[in-house]
Each structure stands twice: as C-alpha cells, then as structure tokens.
Amino acid sequence: MTVTPSDRAQRELKNLEAVAGNGLLHRRAFLRGGAALAGAMTGYTLVPSAFGQQLAEDPWSLVPGVTVPDYGTRSRFEKNVVRTLSNPKGEPRTQHARTPHHLLNGTFTPNSLHFVISHAGDPDIDPGNHRLVIHGLVKQPLVFTLDALARYPMVSRMAFVECGGNSAPLFSLEPIQATVQALHGLVSCAEWTGVPLSTLLDEAGIDPKAKWIVAEGGDPPHVSRSVPLSKAMDDAMIALYQNGERVMPGNGYPMRLLLPGWEGNMNTKWVRRIQLTEGPGMTFYEARTYAPVLPGGKAYRFYFIQEVKSFITHPSPGLALQGPGFYEISGIAYSGNGRIARVMVSADGGKSWAQAALQQPVLSKAFTGFRVPWRWDGGPAVLQSRAWDEAGYEQPARAQLVAARGETARLPSVTGFPSQHYNAITSWSIERSGEVKHVYA
Amino acid sequence: MYTRSFLGLAVMLAVALSAGVAFAQTPNLGKPISPADIAAWDINVLPDGSGLPPGSGTPADGARIYAAKCSACHGPEGKGGVNGRLVGGDPIKTIDAEKTIANFWPYATTLFDYIRRAMPWPQPRSLTNEEVYALTAYILSLNKLIGDNDTMNSQTLPKVRMPNRDGFIVRFPDRTP
C-alpha cells in the first residue's frame, strides 16, 4: 500500500493524541509531527511581535574572548552543577559525592561529576610506584607495573557503576523530600578502557581449585572484596581510562577493578592485589555492610547484581514546571543483567503507561536514556518510569519491593543507608504550582 | 590425488592450529614475584583461618592498646563515640537495625582482617600482629563471645562461634560458588 501525504498527516495527528492518561504522547510524536503540529498541539501561538524586542549585538560578541585553557572547564554560569558531599571536611568517616542527575542530560557521566565513595579520602598514588600483584592459587605469582599494563591489548566499554546503597532513602516508611541527586546520586556511567582481567589471570595460570578472587585496594583502609572467579573471567577489567582520560583519583587512579553491572563496592578502586582463593574472604564489606537485612532478621549474602532500575530525571524535585503545556519527560535506565529492553512511563501514578523512546545504541550494563513527550494540563499528576531488561527482569513497584524487603521503622536520614539494593519505581508528584514532590504511589 | 589433498589439508590444519596457539599468546609482561616478596601485602584472612599470622594476644593486652589507640573514636570499652560501638547490639528485628559484631558478624576472622587492614583510621597498618590479636581478643571478650582470659591466635580465632553465623541467605546461589 502506498503511503500518501494525507495518510501521513493523519498518522501524525493520531500520534499527537495522548497514548496514556494525563497527557502522555506517543514517543515519536515530535520526531514525526514537526514544529508546526507541535506548536498547534502545545497551544503556543506564534504571532509576529511575540518576542517584543529588537535583537542587538551582545557584549561578548564585541571583544576577543578569554584565552583557551590547557585543561577545559565548564562555563562560569554552570557552577551550580556539582556533586553534593556528605563529609566536606573529611572527618574520620566515609565520604560520599553524589552525581547531579537532574542537572545533566546524557548517558556518559562527566569524570568530574562521577559519584565517589571513599572510606578514608582519595589516596594520592604515584602511578610509577603503583603495583598490581596476582597471587594465591596460581602457578606463578606475578607483579605488574602500570607501564607494563599499558602495553596490553585493551578493550573499551560503557558501564554504569552503582553503589549497593544507592536509592536507600526509598526504604523510608515515608517519602523523603529530596532531589534525584540525593536519592539516586550514587550511580554514574562512563566508558572504561583497560586490560581484560582474564588475560592477566591466564598469564599467572589458574589453579583448578580456585573459585574466587579477593581484590584489595591501595587506599588507607585497604578495602577488599571477594568476587567469584567466573565473573573475573567473564567481563572484568583492570580499567586504566575513564571517558578517555586516566581514571580519576576518586574512581581508582591509576587502576581499578571494573565488574560491569555488579555492586559498586566490589569494583575495587586503586586495586593493588588480587588473590585467588578456594572460598570467599568474608571481608568487612561483604560480611557486614552489603548484606541487606530482611524482615524477620535474616540477611542476604552476596547480592552482587545491581538489578534493573530506572528513574525520571526531568522533571524531578527542584525542577519546577513553568505552567501547563509541553514538556519532555526523560530519565535513565540500566540493568546489571544486560541491555534495557523497554521503559514505560506513567503520568497517572501507574494506572496507564506509554512506551518511552530509548536512546540508541542500547548498551549492556550501561545507562540508557529514555524520553516521552508530555502535555501537562496543569492538574495533579504522578510520574513514574518502569524498566525491563533483556534477561526478562521487571523493575518492581515499590509496594512489591518493600513487601519482600521491608521498610524502615522510623524516618531515616536522607544520607543514611537503612538497607541496600533498592531498585523499585520512583514516583514524582506534580503539584498545581508546578512543584515536583517525591511520593509513594 | 586424494592423498595429496588430504596431506595438504593436514598441513593447512597444522598451520591453523599453530596460528591459533600464537593468537592465544599474550604479552606476559608481569614479573614473577616470590611469596616472601608479597608477604608485607599478603594480609587476607579467610574464615577457615588461612592467612592468620603467628602470634597471639589476650583481652587484657587488648584493653591497654584499645584505650590508647581506639577509644577516641569508638568510646571507652567499645561503647561508641564519633564512630560505631563495638559492643552489644539488640537482636536484629527490623531492616534498619544497627548491625553489630555481636548481633550480625558471622565470622570472628573478619574482625582480625579488618582491624589489621584498616585501623586505627588515621594510621592503618601501624599495629603489630600481636596487637591485632590482642584487640580482637578484647573486643570478642567485651561481647562475651570468648572468656576474659582466652588467648586469640591462629588456632583459636577461627573456632570462635559467632551468634549470627547462620543468619544469612545467599541471594543468587547460581552465581555463588
């Protein structure tokens, strides 16, 4: 059948109809509809004098600009785009720096805004004196310098890294009013380049008795974690580069263990030693910290996977809507079990759903951007996103998650970690004023 | 002709196989290192006690070291200060209950491993193995998990039965060897 222009126009008009409650539009409405149709449906009128001002040269267009710096930094007008710090004076406890997802738009996290958790500050490592040792159940223990590793065949891949405690405020019995940065800021995504760990383990010669590795950092607490050998031989990497430049000090300079899709704390930063063992070390962070307690008092051991999750970044608390009309709802989705298969968005608290457009290419264990056009009528609305991954896992509703995992007995601090591994739906309520609030729906 | 083709094929296969071997070779730029040269970094202690060094310590020794090097953050007798307490802890009933050594930690070896690698916070790795054994003994005795006169060493420490040893469920058994 031939598609005639009038068929196309009909289809475009149809696309501009709401596909789900409270004004969610077809995900391709604007890609197909064009500006004229968009203007028509948003209600904005284009009149010749609407701008009401004659254009003139601006001061910055009339004089030479500043000298180009040797290491670039963002505009001085973007100084508010920063990480939030849990321990800005470096007191003797852990420091957290959270990524401002609501002020970014994309799937790479800029290196200076990548989240960081340091248990005793970032070590000031001289790369020329850093060493990586592989020993334990191997035929020949080996030591590698950075210069040696830099000569190996490398791989590059996008991968998110997420703290096992990210989103923990959503275990609160009441919704905590906070930005997406405070609630979900302990996840970031970068392109990592380095040496497959399997290459180095093969060179050392794996004893058939080995079933685990215990990886340790050169940071002051010498943070150590146990990882099944099968993961180490699958897609683990000794990462030397982060978004094309050397790994940032807070992210493990000069080298870190990257375990795509697995609990952030296991991705040993400043990695200096890998011991192959028969059993796990039951280190502090696996025996105690990242063992989420279940209702009734038992606890999960070895959670490993950061399960399928999504959240809306635009709009979100702190980004108020400026009156009724057109907005794009966007956010990020990711899964430690592979690629994102689908993201659905609701504007009526989950009663009806519209399929979101996914930013291409969709990469395994990496951020996937999603977008849905939305016409806000000015009334109350509750925005939610829900993701599915290629392994078939569905992001749970909050009620489903807390039925299995529990919620707090008291209101926790927004910077606290009442439990770990929260991946359920986040809900934003749009008030008539345009303000965005965190709710449970 | 058949024989010649067969031989040709065999030669091609042999070439392909040796090429395959060459392909599998990697740079081999790691330098062999002896266990003696790794020793200063070789600090992992596993639940079965492997990795525990020679030496020993008693709660009484540990109390003296604790007062000098630990109480500033963890409070007198492990009761807590600017950092977490090391003694006591109610049975865990809610998901956000405080996890303590007595009510949560499954293995006593983790205590030795963590003190030795990370404590005291401003001067990690400054304690001798004897001091780590003594501090481990002191904290275990404060929690009534060993007797006040029990000595901790590489034989006794792995045998300490922690109350919550069996309080765990492996989340993904198919991924956990």
For A377, other C-beta atoms within 10 Å of its C-beta total 12
Look at A222 and B42 and tell me if their CB atoms are within 8 Å: no
Nearest to B169 among A144, A289, A300 (CB): A300
pLDDT at A8 (0 to 100): 57
pLDDT at A4 (0 to 100): 47
pLDDT at A52 (0 to 100): 82
pTM to 2 decimals? 0.92
The CATH code of the domain that includes B102 is 1.10.760.10
Q: Say yes or no to pLDDT of B17 above 50.
A: no
pLDDT at A44 (0 to 100): 42
Q: Say yes or no to pLDDT of B7 above 60.
A: no
Q: How many CB pairs under 8 A join A and B?
A: 190
Q: Is A438 exposed, middle or buried (0-12, 13-18, 19+ CB in 10 A)?
A: buried
Q: Calculate how close chain A gets to B123, using CA atoms only, in Å.
A: 8
pLDDT at A30 (0 to 100): 73
pLDDT at A49 (0 to 100): 66
Q: Which CATH architecture has domain A118-289?
A: Alpha-Beta Complex (3.90)
pLDDT at A2 (0 to 100): 46
Q: Are A264 and A289 in contact (CB under 8 A)?
A: no
| Among B25, B44, B104, the residue to mutate for chain A (most A Cβ within 10 A) | B44
Identify the band that residue B13 occupies on the pLDDT scale cut at 50, 70 and 90.
Answer: very low
pLDDT at A50 (0 to 100): 73
Chain A residues with beta carbon closer than 8 angstroms to that of B28: 203
pLDDT at A426 (0 to 100): 98
> Cα angle vertex A56, ends A51, A57, to 5°?
140
In this complex, is the C-beta atom of B42 within 8 Å of any C-beta atom belonging to chain A?
A: yes
Kindly state the average pLDDT of the residues B38-61. Answer: 98
Nearest to B118 among A222, A291, A295 (CB): A222
pLDDT at A11 (0 to 100): 57
Task: Report which residue type is found at A3.
Answer: V
Identify the band that residue B25 occupies on the pLDDT scale cut at 50, 70 and 90.
Answer: confident
Q: Calculate how close chain A gets to B12, using CA atoms only, in Å.
A: 28
CA-atom Rg of chain A in angstroms: 24
Look at B95 and A284 and tell me if their CB atoms are within 8 Å: no
Tokens of A379: 């009334």
Residue B49 exposure: Cα atoms within 13 Å on the Cβ side:
12
- DSSP character at residue A394: B
Task: Report which residue type is found at A136.
Answer: G
The verdict on ipTM greater than 0.85 is: yes
Chain A residues with beta carbon closer than 8 angstroms to that of B34: 141
Is there a domain that residue B97 lies in? yes
CATH number of A309-439: 2.60.40.650
CA distance A24 to A419: 34
Q: Say yes or no to pLDDT of B21 above 50.
A: no
- The domain in which residue B139 lies consists of 41-167
Nearest to A283 among B94, B99, B113 (CB): B113
Average pLDDT, 10 consecutive residues per value, chain A (441 residues): 50 71 90 52 52 92 97 96 97 96 97 98 98 98 98 98 98 98 98 98 98 98 98 98 98 98 98 98 98 97 98 97 96 98 98 98 98 97 98 98 96 96 98 97 95
Where are chain A's structural domains?
Answer: 118-289, 309-439
The tally of domains found in chain B comes to 1
In sequence order, the β-bridge partners of residue B130 are: none
CA distance A12 to A198: 51
**DSSP H helical ranges for A52-179:** 146-149
